[in-house]
């Protein structure tokens, strides 16, 4: 294999690692945002369950108050009954008492229905609370690793970037520029193998002439479709054994 090509492949391996590290680093804030969104959704679900429960308790309390005021009304009617001497008025008051007692019975029935509903809501709330706790634990775990991961990745990036100038040594400037441009435009794949007469970058068949030229190892060969620098896949095996 051409020495320059071999050097470029080693450089590309380093650059690909840098690229992966950078992409992972760039994804970390999005991961945090996604965690924050999940956390707020979990909180909202719990809030909704709590609000329903509170609403029901409020209504039950109000009904208690309604019963109390009806009972006070009845007491007043009974006092008035004791005070009156007129039979008609006495009968009218007795009727009022009966009406009020009926209202109380209705309210108590409504309370029973609500209490049953309350039991179901309590169950819902417990389920929501448990789901919330599980979700927050999961999110907490991810968030707690983010800083550590960022630090490790930054350190790795720095190490790789420190290696890079040494790997560039001995590569002609023009070639290096060409490689850099390709690496950027081809998303980290500037130099690719020819396998079974196919360019492993664009997966198009290359000409026999290109295959032979790559095997001859006299000059840098580019894929005529995608422009990537090509090497013979048999050379890869040689390279791996080194």
Per CB under 5 A, residues contacting Zn ion are 199, 201-202, 223, 225-226
Closest to 193 (Cα-Cα) out of 166, 172, 216, 214 = 214
Ramachandran region, residue 203 (left: φ > 0; alpha: ψ -120 to 50; beta: rest): left
Nearer Cβ to Zn ion (93/220): 220
Residue 228 C-beta: closest distance to Zn ion, Å: 5
Nearer Cβ to Zn ion (122/225): 225
CB 171 within 8 A of CB 7: yes
Residue 199 C-beta: closest distance to Zn ion, Å: 3
User: The sheet that has 191-195: what strands, in order across it?
Assistant: 198-199, 191-195, 229-232, 221-222
Residue 201 C-beta: closest distance to Zn ion, Å: 4
Angle of CA points 186, 188, 194, to nearest 5°: 75
Nearer Cβ to Zn ion (167/226): 226
DSSP string of 57-75, one letter each residue: HHHHHHHHHHHHHHHHHHH
CB 60 within 8 A of CB 67: no
Nearer Cβ to Zn ion (146/202): 202
């Amino acid at each position: 294999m051409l020495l320059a090509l071999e050097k470029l492949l080693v450089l590309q391996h380093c650059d690909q690692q840098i690229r992966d590290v950078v992409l992972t680093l760039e994804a970390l804030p999005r991961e945090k945002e996604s965690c924050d969104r999940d956390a707020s959704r979990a909180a909202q679900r719990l809030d909704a369950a709590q609000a329903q429960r509170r609403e029901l308790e409020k209504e039950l309390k109000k009904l208690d108050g309604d019963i109390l005021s009806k009972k006070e009304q009845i007491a007043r009617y009974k006092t008035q009954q004791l005070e009156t001497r007129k039979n008609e008025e006495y009968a009218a008051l007795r009727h009022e008492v009966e009406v009020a007692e009926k209202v109380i019975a209705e309210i108590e029935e409504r309370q029973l229905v609500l209490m049953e509903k309350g039991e179901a809501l309590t169950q819902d709330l417990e389920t929501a609370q448990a789901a919330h706790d599980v979700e927050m634990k999961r999110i907490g775990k991810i968030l707690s690793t983010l800083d550590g991961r960022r630090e490790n990745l930054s350190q790795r990036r720095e190490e790789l970037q420190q290696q890079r100038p040494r790997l560039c040594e001995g590569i002609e400037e023009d070639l290096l520029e060409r490689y850099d441009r390709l690496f950027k435009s081809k998303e980290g794949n500037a130099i690719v193998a020819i396998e079974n007469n196919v360019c492993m970058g664009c997966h198009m068949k290359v000409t026999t002439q290109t295959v032979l030229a790559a095997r001859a190892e006299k000059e840098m060969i580019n894929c005529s479709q995608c422009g990537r620098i090509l090497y013979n896949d048999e050379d890869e095996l040689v390279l791996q054994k080194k």
